[in-house]
Amino acid sequence: MDDTSKPKPPGAGKSSFDLIDPDKVFGQIDLHSGITLLDLACGPGAYSLAASPLVGDTGSIIAIDLWEEGIAALKEQAKNTGIRNIRAMIADINKKIPLPDSTIDVCLMANVLHDLIEADTSKGTLPEIKRTLTSDAQLAIIEFKKIEGPPGPPIHIRLSPEELQEILKPYGFHKERVTDVGPYNYMMTFRIDQQHY
């Protein structure tokens, strides 16, 4: 396939996984055997691969991205390492997340939301995320700290924890906690207010 045939989605090809402390990230996310994790805009799937043993054989990870090369790389890596609990698929999360209602226990978005805000597409994605979550699900968002880079995007499109909270609030999410997960990144976890579910 000709790489010039389709433009890459914003941020495609970049992974923040090497910048974060996986123990800090996964220590704050409700990952345990048997749950379903949605890794949204997963890129080449580094977070999915790291989370695979945590959800175990009875759990599953659904990894979605618009970047075809990233999904192909994740499928290849999972196949080569014998991982069977990751289902990787290509989809435009700005339009539709191709999953049934109320089926996701944890949704992870790693350094994705600032791109959606910048492209003015988050209003399509955030209701879709909420639709797929169970009533007691957790939403975990990793973002770059609002400091000058590199690494990371320009400071004017970075999101502070306060900005992130304001963005999520209209969709019925309330802040659970903010965790420092590396020198450049923080993670904020949310739950759905039950009156908004």
DSSP letters for 85-123: SEEEEE--TTT---S-TT-EEEEEEES-HHHHHHTT-HH
Which pLDDT score, from 0 to 100, does residue 11 have?
54
- 14 and 43 in contact (C-beta within 8 Å)? yes
Which pLDDT score, from 0 to 100, does residue 5 have?
44
pTM of full prediction above 0.85: yes
Please state, in angstroms and rounded to a whole number, the distance separating the CA atoms of residues 159 and 181: 15
- 185 and 17 in contact (C-beta within 8 Å)? no
- 83 and 49 in contact (C-beta within 8 Å)? yes
List the chain pLDDT tens, one digit each, 197 residues: 344 445 555 555 567 899 999 999 999 999 999 999 999 999 999 999 999 999 999 999 999 999 999 999 999 999 999 999 999 999 999 999 999 999 999 999 999 999 999 999 999 999 999 999 999 999 999 999 999 989 999 999 999 999 999 999 999 999 999 999 999 999 999 999 877 65
| Class of CATH domain 17-196 | alpha beta
Which pLDDT score, from 0 to 100, does residue 1 have?
38
Please state, in angstroms and rounded to a whole number, the distance separating the CA atoms of residues 78 and 75: 5
User: Nearest CA to 83 among 121, 45, 52?
Assistant: 52
Type and span of the H or E element at 80: helix 68-80
Which amino acid, one-letter code, is at 195? Q
How many helices (H) and strands (E) would you count in the chain?
6, 7
User: Nearest CA to 164 among 141, 195, 131?
Assistant: 141
- 185 and 158 in contact (C-beta within 8 Å)? no
Please state, in angstroms and rounded to a whole number, the distance separating the CA atoms of residues 117 and 144: 14
Exposed/middle/buried for 161, CB within 10 Å: 0-12, 13-18, 19+?
Answer: middle
